[in-house]
Amino acid sequence: MVLYSPGRTSSYPEEAVKEGIRFHFLGGGNEVGNVGCILEDVAGTRLLLDYGLAPTKPPRYPNEAPKVTDCIITHSHIDHLGMAPWLASHHSTRLHGTALTGEIAMPMWNDCYKVSRIEGYPLSWDKRDIDEAVDLWQSHGFNEKITFHNWKWQLLPAGHIPGAAMVNIDTPTHRILFTGDFDTRDSKLVNGAEPIECDILFVEGTYGGRSHPPKKPEQERFLNRVTEVVSRGGTCLVPAFANGRTQDVLMLLHQNKPNLNIHIDGMGKFLAKLYLEHPEYLRSSEELEAAMIWAKKVSSKSDRKKALDADVIITTSGMLDGGPSIWYMNRLRDNPNNAILLTGYQARGSGGRKLLDEGKLPIFGTDIPIELEVDQFTFSTHCGHDEIISFTKQCKAKHVVVYHTDPLQARPPLVAALESQGHTVHCPVNGESYTIID
Ligand SMILES: [Zn+2]
């Protein structure tokens, strides 16, 4: 598969902006993930916000970016930075973000590259491009004011995962806030995002129309299920995403079930180490450190065998698509006392989705029926519908652009609620340009 055929393939217009602010989603406008958004004003000042890919099978890529000198990366999930190595190698684009996002970027790119090879979907960048991206990275602290031509911008805490930022841009005509992925609720790892007043708010609408269950009872439901499985002599397999979820779940267990025997496996161990090197992005580095000391870290084949006797195994992949979780599943599946506790969203086409819908899981190429108890818990660190509405109200934004959303299910209820709150709402489609003047 050839991505971005030679010559000009970008959807971005060549005409200059005549008035106001132009925005153009290369991806992530009317879909979840795969984000890339260009902002430009009449002076020709132009920034790209995020440049990711959607890790579906096959992956989805944003449209080709036009020449941009600077790109701000909101956070280190692959659907927000997966295509940054391409930008670095094709346009020598400077990449900006928090120090922790910069630190995590390299292992995320390496992992993305490895997965693309295993799954047979070649990327449009290669390993050498990762080095270029690392060289072009510029780190910025929260609230640090950066002058960019006639604009000033700063990063603000977004909640979501450690190092995640919202982008606040002051242009001569508009105050803009771009949320990236965000959550106003505190998690074990990070404090929630705070609203600020702006004229144009770009808000992610992943959970439009859906309210999260209250956090505490959902956590208790999870902890009770763990106790149940352990007391009947079983092991809980907890598939979890490496970047954020693994550490959140580990801290929850450490604080509430300190007598359990917990093992963690997968890239989440390494990322926790990187988090701890940047304690300023954590709500409590002491609590994460204590949880990491407490847990048994799996780092060899014999460790992995020992982990089979654990009470709980937390491991990647979070959607049961390869990674150590499949190895464990293959060995735990014969004992009905064991259980699988899913901790995140299971995308269409993923192993976890197949397990929920059909009770089967592809293990080393063959669909195997799984008889174990399966339960799913909502530990999302995105705002739910109600948090989005309340945040937007507090931002007092005249214009609200709802992006990073399913256009059929999630966006309509969000648009209705936002319009009744008096905002002018915009629903971007990928590859189209829009201008906000007033
Ligand atoms: Zn994210």
Which pLDDT score is estimated for 7?
55
Q: Residue 168 pairs with which residues in a beta bridge?
A: 154, 177
Other CB atoms within 10 Å distance of the CB of residue 418: 23
Q: How far is the CA of 181 from the centre of ligand 1 (A)?
A: 5
Q: Compute the distance between CA of residue 110 and CA of residue 72 in angstroms, rounded to an integer.
A: 20
Looking at residue 64, the DSSP 8-state letter turns out to be P
Which pLDDT score is estimated for 145?
98
Q: How far is the CA of 405 from the centre of ligand 1 (A)?
A: 13
Q: Is the pTM of this model over 0.75?
A: yes
Q: Mean pLDDT per 10-residue run, the chain (438 residues)?
A: 61 94 97 95 98 88 95 97 96 98 97 90 92 98 98 98 98 98 98 98 97 95 98 98 97 98 96 98 98 97 96 96 92 97 88 95 90 96 98 98 96 98 98 96
Q: Compute the distance between CA of residue 383 and CA of residue 391 in angstroms, rounded to an integer.
A: 9
Which pLDDT score is estimated for 180?
98
The two tokens of residue 226 are: 């763990």
Which pLDDT score is estimated for 422?
97
Which pLDDT score is estimated for 229?
98
CA distances from 9 to 36, 62, 64 (A): 15, 12, 6
Q: How far is the CA of 335 from the centre of ligand 1 (A)?
A: 35
Q: How far is the CA of 77 from the centre of ligand 1 (A)?
A: 5
Ligand 1 (ion): residues with CB under 5 Å are: 77, 181
Q: How far is the CA of 33 from the centre of ligand 1 (A)?
A: 8
Q: How far is the CA of 80 from the centre of ligand 1 (A)?
A: 7
* 162 alpha-carbon distance from chain centroid: 11
Q: Compute the distance between CA of residue 42 and CA of residue 149 in angstroms, rounded to an integer.
A: 12
Q: How far is the CA of 407 from the centre of ligand 1 (A)?
A: 18
Which pLDDT score is estimated for 58?
83
Which pLDDT score is estimated for 56?
81
Identify whether the C-beta of residue 190 lies closer than 8 Å to the C-beta of residue 201: no
Q: Which residue's structure tokens are 């093992």?
A: 263
The two tokens of residue 211 are: 């309210």
- The one-letter code for the residue type at 161 is I
Q: How far is the CA of 273 from the centre of ligand 1 (A)?
A: 19
Q: Residue 24 pairs with which residues in a beta bridge?
A: 38, 433
Which pLDDT score is estimated for 1?
45
Q: Classify each residue of 341-368 as buried b or exposed e, where b means 16 or more C-beta atoms within 10 Å of its C-beta.
A: bbbbbbbeebbbbbbbeeeebebeeeee
3-state class of 29 per DSSP?
Answer: coil
Per-residue pLDDT tens for 163-189?
Answer: 999 999 999 999 999 999 999 999 999
Contacts within 8 Å (CB) and 24+ apart, 110-115: 111/78, 111/242, 111/267, 112/53, 112/55, 112/78, 112/82, 115/55, 115/322
The two tokens of residue 430 are: 């990928």
Walk me through the domains of the chain, giving residue ranges and CATH numbers.
Answer: 21-210+381-436 (3.60.15.10), 224-376 (3.40.50.10890)
Q: How far is the CA of 117 from the centre of ligand 1 (A)?
A: 23
3-state class of 337 per DSSP?
Answer: coil
**DSSP states along 252-292:** HHHHH-TTS-EEE-STHHHHHHHHHH-GGGSS-HHHHHHHH
Q: How far is the CA of 78 from the centre of ligand 1 (A)?
A: 8
Identify whether the C-beta of residue 349 lies closer than 8 Å to the C-beta of residue 298: no
Q: What are the start-end ranges of the H helices in 171-323? A: 215-231, 245-256, 268-277, 285-294, 301-307
The two tokens of residue 213 are: 């269950």
